[in-house]
Amino acid sequence: MKGQIFSLIRTKYNTLSSSQKDVADYILTNPDKVMMNTLNEIAAACRVSETTVLRFLHKLNYNSYQLFRINLTQELSKDNQETVYDDVGFQDTEDEIIEKIIHSTVASIADSRQIIDPDSVKDVVGKIAGARRIVVAGVGASGFIAQDLYHKLIKLGLNAVCGNDPHIMNILATGLDKDSFLILFSHSGESREVLDMAAIARERRCQVCAVTSYAKSTLANQAEYLLCSSSRETMFRSDAMTSRIVQMVVIDILYVSLVIALGDGILPQIHSSRLAVAKNKI
C-alpha cells in the first residue's frame, strides 16, 4: 500500500506518548535522514532514549529498527515521499498553505482506510436498519457532524432525532429503550454531556455507537459499537478539524451502506426527499 508506513504513523499518532510523538514527528519530516540514521542517532536527534524509539516501533508492530528502516527505504524508493506530512510554518506563502492543508487533509482521508473497520460499519448499519428509533447527538463541533447524519437518516424515512444541546440530549435519552439505538459523536471521547447521555442509555438498556478519534477514550469504552476517526494535530490546525472531515467520510460510508442494505425499495423514499427539497429552490 502506497505510503503505508507514513499512514500507519499518522493513524497511531494519538496513541503515542509525548516522547514517542517526538520520534514520529522526526520520521515524518526527515525520512531521508532516517534511512541513513542508526537507532542511536535517531534517539539523539529526538532527545529520547533508544528504548523510547523501540517502544514507538513496537506500536507500529515492528520488532526491530533494522526491519523498519528497510521498509521505509523501500517505500521512499517507490517515490512515496510525497505522503510525508509537512506542517505549515509562519514563513509559508498562501500558495504553500493551500498546498499543505489540502495535502494533509487528503492524507487524513487516505489514513482512514486503516482506521475504519468494515465489520464495525456492517454491524452499525444493521443496528440502524433494525432500530425502532435512532437518536444522534454531539456537542460543539461534533454536534454539527451529528446533524449531518440525522439529515441523511430522515431522508431515508427513518425514525431519527438529533440533539446538540445538553438539556435536549438528556431529555431525548429518557426516551431510549432496548429497541432504540444511540449514536454519539465526540472527537475526544471525553465530553461530559455525551458521557452523561451514554450513561442514561445504559440504564435504559439502549446500545450505543461511539464515533470518536480515540479508541481508548471513556466514550469508546462505554459503547457497544465503535467507529474511529483519527488525525494529527499540528501547530495551527487542531486535529479535531481534520477529524471532522474523516467523520463526514464515515457518515457517507454509513449512508451508502445503509441504502445498499435497505435495497432498491428505498429509492422512492430518496426520490421523495429530493423532490421535497427541490420545492424550496428557485
Domain boundary among 31, 55, 77: 77
**Better pLDDT: 240 or 270:** 270
Q: State the residue range of the domain holding 8.
A: 2-77
Residue 216 is predicted with a pLDDT of 81
pLDDT at 82 over 50: no
282 band by pLDDT with thresholds 50, 70 and 90:
confident
* pLDDT digit string, tens, across residues 207-241: 999 999 888 889 999 999 999 876 555 544 455 56
pLDDT at 80 over 70: no
d(CA 118, CA 30): 33
* pLDDT digit string, tens, across residues 154-186: 999 999 999 999 999 999 999 999 999 999 999
Q: Indicate yes or no: pTM above 0.75.
A: no
Over residues 147-152, mean pLDDT: 96
| Total domains present in the chain | 2
55 and 129 fall within a common domain: no
CATH of the domain at 187: 3.40.50.10490
150 band by pLDDT with thresholds 50, 70 and 90:
very high
Domain boundary among 18, 49, 77: 77
167 and 253 fall within a common domain: yes
Burial annotation 166-196 (CB, 10 A radius, 16+ → b, else e): beebbebbeebeeebbbbbbbbbbebebbbe
Residue 15 is predicted with a pLDDT of 83
**Better pLDDT: 264 or 80:** 264
Residue 134 pairs with which residues in a beta bridge? 160, 181
Asked, for residue 84, whether it belongs to a domain, the answer is no
213 Cβ contact list (under 8 Å, min separation 6):
14, 187, 188, 189, 228, 229, 230, 231, 239, 240, 243
Asked, for residue 140, whether it belongs to a domain, the answer is yes
Asked, for residue 100, whether it belongs to a domain, the answer is no
